[in-house]
Amino acid sequence: MERKQGFFSALREEVARGLSPGRSRSENPSTVAELLLPRRWRRQPPRGFPDELLVPASGSLAPLAEGPEGDDLGRRKEGWGRWVKGQLSRAPSASCRSSDLRFLLGVMGAPLAPVHVSPTNSLPPLSIKDTPIETSTAQYILQQYTAATGGLKLLSSIRNSYAMGKVTMVVSEFETASRVIKNRCSPKDAESGGFVLWQMAPDMWYVELAIGGSKVHAGCNGKLVWRHTPWLGAHAATGSVRPLRRALQGLDPLAVVNVFADAQCIGETKIDGEDCFILKLCADPQTLKARSEGSVEIIRHVFFGYFSQKTGLLTCMEDSHLTRIQSSAGGDAVYWETTINSRIHDYRPVEGMMIAHSGHSVVTLFRFGEVAMSHTKTRMEEAWSIEEVAFNVPGLSMDCFIPPADVKKDGSVSEARELPPQAERGRSTMAGSHRAKVAALEKSHDVSDDNIWWRVEV
**Model confidence at 307: pLDDT above 70:** yes
B/e letters for 175-202, b = 16+ CB within 10 Å, e = fewer, are: beeeeeeebebeeebbbbbbbebbbbbe
Nearest Cα neighbor of 65 from 98, 35, 42 is: 98
pLDDT in tens, 377-398: 999 999 999 999 999 999 999 9
**Rg over CA atoms, the chain:** 24
**Model confidence at 142: pLDDT above 50:** yes
Secondary structure of residue 132 in the 3-state scheme: coil
pLDDT in tens, 80-131: 445 444 444 443 333 345 667 787 888 888 999 999 886 555 666 666 677 8
Sign of dihedral through CA atoms 146, 150, 153, 156?
negative
Domain boundaries, the chain: 2-93+424-451, 103-418
Distance CA 238, CA 412 (A): 5
167, 383 contact by CB (below 8 A)? yes
| Lowest mean pLDDT, pick from 68-77, 234-243, 330-339 | 68-77
Confidence of residue 408 (pLDDT cuts 50, 70, 90): low
Distance CA 151, CA 143 (A): 9
Secondary structure of residue 55 in the 3-state scheme: coil
pLDDT exceeding 70 applies to what percent of the chain? Answer: 63
Confidence of residue 144 (pLDDT cuts 50, 70, 90): very high
Mean pLDDT of 415-442: 42
Distance CA 353, CA 255 (A): 13
**Model confidence at 400: pLDDT above 80:** yes
pLDDT in tens, 29-67: 444 334 344 444 444 444 443 444 344 444 443 443 333
Please classify residue 371 by burial: count the beta carbons closer than 10 Å to its beta carbon, then call 0-12 exposed, 13-18 middle and 19+ buried: exposed
Secondary structure of residue 445 in the 3-state scheme: coil
Confidence of residue 271 (pLDDT cuts 50, 70, 90): very high
Please classify residue 359 by burial: count the beta carbons closer than 10 Å to its beta carbon, then call 0-12 exposed, 13-18 middle and 19+ buried: buried
183, 103 contact by CB (below 8 A)? no
